[in-house]
Amino acid sequence: MIIGSNLIFRENVASTNTEASLMLNQGEVAEGTVIQAGFQSAGRGQKGNRWESVKGKNLLLSIILYPWSVKPEEQFIINMALSLGVCDFTGKMTQGSSIKWPNDIYVKDDKIAGILIENSIMADRIESTIAGIGLNINQEEFPGNLRNPVSMKMITGREHDLQQCLTVLLSALDKRYRQLLYGDREEIHDEYRSRLYRFNELSAFRSGEKVFEGTITDVSVSGFITIRDKQQHEHRFSFKEVDFVTSPGSSR
């Protein structure tokens, strides 16, 4: 077991990703160390957003990894492997789990987990990875500005034991991480594609001011998404350059 071999619990931190980064700055940290928090006062999400979570209701954690065999130009394979790990976990308890590119975990059309991966790159290698995961377990009410949050409790109708969920989640992540280090990467890539939210389905997208319809045909290990428009032209976008357009009245 790599992930979860060393578990640190903090009642209250600013952000577990920030905490992990401070630990790395202070010296050697064992690979697979997990920093879990009961509450974050400054939880961070993608695109500079905040990640808010009611105290003691959800899983908030960061994992420190040293993915020695992954080259910086293929670093998105780390996101793929860990997204699959979280999706394996949600898939065990719910139906309709998928990964919304780049690495949100959805159940049907709602977001149950977010992942914030921060790689530290030195010259031509990844020195360390901090993988932050926020997974909604028992929270039932969310701030109104969020588009489509959901939790395990809202889906299953019952309370879940956080520590039990943590054990199952870490084991799923560990399996995927070992597959990344020692197994077949093409399999990770294929599975990521096959679990992708709205893969090969006609959807509306927005890129800057432009709204267009197209289908997702691929995501590369460098993290680019390929969308084929109705004229059969393929366009590649990086994260931040494109997003789904949500239809009026939908929960998204």
75 lies in the binding site for ligand BTN (CB under 6 A) = no
99 lies in the binding site for ligand BTN (CB under 6 A) = no
Binding map of ligand BTN across residues 110-129, x = CB under 6 A, - = no contact: ----xxx-------------
Residue 45 or 183: the one with the smaller Cβ distance to ligand BTN is 45
* HSE toward the beta carbon, residue 202, CA cutoff 13 A: 6
CB of 62 to ligand BTN, least distance (A): 5
64 lies in the binding site for ligand BTN (CB under 6 A) = no
State how far the Cα of 188 lies from the Cα of 82, in Å rounded to an integer: 10
- Range in contact with ligand BTN (rule: CB under 6 A) among 15-23, 67-75, 86-94, 237-245: 15-23
- Which of 4, 85, 134, 214: binder of ligand BTN (CB under 6 A)? 134
Residue 98 or 214: the one with the smaller Cβ distance to ligand BTN is 98
Residue 51 or 214: the one with the smaller Cβ distance to ligand BTN is 51
Q: What b/e readout covers 126-147, taking b as 16+ CB neighbours within 10 angstroms? A: bebbbbbbbbbbbbeebeeeee
- Which of 17, 79, 128, 129: binder of ligand BTN (CB under 6 A)? 17
State how far the Cα of 115 lies from the Cα of 165, in Å rounded to an integer: 17
Contacts of 31 (CB under 8 A, 6+ apart): 2, 5, 64, 65, 66
104 lies in the binding site for ligand BTN (CB under 6 A) = yes
Q: Check if the beta carbon of residue 98 is closer than 8 Å to that of residue 193.
A: no
15 lies in the binding site for ligand BTN (CB under 6 A) = yes
Q: Which residue(s) pair with 106 in the sheet?
A: 98, 111
Alpha-carbon torsion (73, 84, 5, 9), positive or negative? positive
Q: Check if the beta carbon of residue 146 is closer than 8 Å to that of residue 114.
A: no
49 lies in the binding site for ligand BTN (CB under 6 A) = yes
Residue ranges that bind ligand BTN, judged by CB under 6 A: 15-17, 40, 43-46, 49, 51, 60-62, 104, 114-116, 132-134
